[in-house]
Amino acid sequence: MPERSDTPPASVLLGNEPGSFPHSVLAERHPAIISQVRDSFPYDPERHRALDALLASCTKGVIEPLPADAHDRDRWAAWGAEAYTGRSWFDVPWLWSESFFYRQLLEAVGYFTPGPWLGIDPFRPSKLAELNAPETDEELAALDPLAERPTDEQDRALLHGSLWGNRADLGFRLSAAQAATASDTPPLVSDDSETLWSLLPPSGTATLCLIADNAGRELIPDLLLIAHLLTQGRIGRAVLHIKPYPYYVSDATHADVLDALRRLTSAPGAAADYGRTLWSAITDGRLAVRAHPFSSAPLPYAEMPADLRGELATATLTVLKGDLNYRRLVGDRLWPPTTPFLDVTAYFPGSVAALRTLKSDVITGLDARTEAALVAAEGQKWRTGGTHALIQVRG
Ligand SMILES: O=P(O)(O)OC[C@@]1(O)O[C@H](CO)[C@@H](O)[C@@H]1O
């Protein structure tokens, strides 16, 4: 059972308010994602017809059930599909609607259907393009001078690399409404990094669970951070939680972890050392990769199943990456921004940290002065523009 918190719950975000960010995701981003997927591979007419049907359903229709023989139909029923089937995508919790959209998209392209498209990730071409982009080479080359710097500088640089790597979100880039906002407000709106480091002293005994977000240019710095923490003895073991199937365009799957590892080991200089550290940590069991079904559940972490709760309870620290994981950590609700992060995460089974760039309306843990400065400079754009970030920790 979640631990009690004195904070009364705020309203759950829905997508039914025209002009709101959730509405734009359902009305504009999802159709754009369908177009992108259509162009990613030479899908056959049946797949195109299924994508047409999904487009009609998600823009003008209602939530359709999964096929009767879908392997995860019961799981989705337990996650709320029975209550939401037949209702408008815009009128059910936004988190649920978005998550089910990705499940139905995979259905449309035959990802789960025995046949030629089984297991073909429709987002892989865009993920690989990003992984192989010259910008990735530049980021990896920056590791060479970093290796000469004092350890505390390396700590900070790699933590911030992982944090800001979260800006690399391919779905986010599809949204025209996401113009960057320039203002004098600090990029970090909340910074508990000292608490984070205090939870991981270099004793070699800590276990880190890192709940990953995006592949490519976010996953690479996440892996670098894990390698660094292992090398420095700040952790003895890490568990990397990834998605069991392609999700939210760029979310990392096991195939993406393997692509990222190969990218590191085949790079010149220090990057390859990090890659080899990770490779041997996987082979000797110090780094485990886990694809729990709940990682792509349409529910907040307060509803996590007992086995996952038990696993996270044994970690010294769980780090959740990214915007979607943040929404799931604090509940996808329109909290007053000064709602204490410690209250809304009181249910979590152990120490927890969020590393997130701000890409949706949900926010907690701000002090009143920071909120006022952000609003004065940017109205409400700071919530969704991806130009601000936070490190929030409950020790
Ligand atoms: O989790 P991530 O990759 O940081 O961000 C996911 C995201 O782009 O998708 C959602 C809208 O679809 C928002 O929560 C957020 O903007």
Residues 214 and 322 in one domain: yes
370 lies in a domain?
A: yes
Instruction: Please give the Cα distance from 318 to 239 (Å, whole number).
Output: 9
In Å, how far from its chain's centre is CA 179? Answer: 21
SS (H, E, C) 60-100: HCECCCCCCCCCCHHHHHHCCHHHHCCCECCCCEHHHHHHH
9 is a domain residue = no
Sign of CA dihedral 230, 190, 241, 144: negative
Residue 347 within any structural domain of the chain:
yes
Q: For residues 221 and 226, give the distance between their C-alpha atoms in angstroms, rounded to a whole number.
A: 9
Q: Is 322 in the pocket of ligand 1 (CB under 6 A)?
A: yes
Do 196 and 48 belong to one domain? no
Domain CATH for 332: 3.40.50.10880
12 domain-assigned:
no
Give CA–CA dist 224/230, Å, rounded: 10
Are residues 88 and 152 located together in one domain of the fold? Answer: no
From ligand 1's centre to the CA of 78, what distance in Å?
Answer: 24
Are 327 and 286 contained in the same domain?
yes
Residue 145 lies in a domain: yes
Last residue of a domain, one of 120, 149, 169: 120
Q: How many other CB atoms sit within 10 Å of the CB of residue 135?
A: 10
Is 368 buried (19+), middle (13-18) or exposed (0-12) by CB count in 10 A?
exposed
SS3 state of residue 177: coil
**Residue 6 maps to a domain:** no
* CB-ligand 1 contact for 212 (6 Å cutoff): no
For residue 381, report the distance from its CA to the centre of ligand 1, in Å.
15
Residue where one domain finishes, among candidates 64, 99, 120: 120
Which ranges of 9-168 does DSSP label H, i.e. alpha helix? Answer: 21-24, 30-38, 45-60, 73-78, 81-84, 94-108, 124-131, 134-141, 143-146, 151-165
In a shared domain, residues 262 and 336: yes
Are 107 and 132 found together in one domain? no
Q: Total structural domains in the chain?
A: 2
In a domain, 4, yes or no: no
My answer on whether 142 and 110 are in the same domain is: no
Are the beta carbons of 63 and 57 closer than 8 angstroms?
A: yes
Domain assignment of residue 102, yes or no: yes
- If you measure from the C-alpha of residue 203 to the centroid of ligand 1, how many angstroms do you get, rounded to a whole number? 35
Return the CA Rg of the chain: 20
- Mark whether 152 and 198 lie in a shared domain: yes
Q: Which domain holds residue 57?
A: 21-120
Per-residue pLDDT of the chain (395 residues; tens, 9 = 90+): 445 566 778 999 999 999 999 999 999 999 999 999 999 999 999 999 999 999 999 999 999 999 999 999 999 999 999 999 999 999 999 999 999 999 999 999 999 999 999 999 999 999 999 999 999 999 999 999 999 999 999 999 999 999 999 886 666 555 534 444 556 788 999 999 999 999 999 998 999 999 999 999 999 999 999 999 999 999 999 999 999 999 999 999 999 999 999 999 999 999 999 999 999 999 999 999 999 999 999 999 999 999 999 999 999 999 999 999 999 999 999 999 999 999 999 999 999 999 999 999 999 999 999 999 999 999 999 999 999 999 999 99
Q: Is 171 in the pocket of ligand 1 (CB under 6 A)?
A: yes
Same domain, 111 and 151: no
Last residue within a domain, chosen from 120, 140, 173: 120
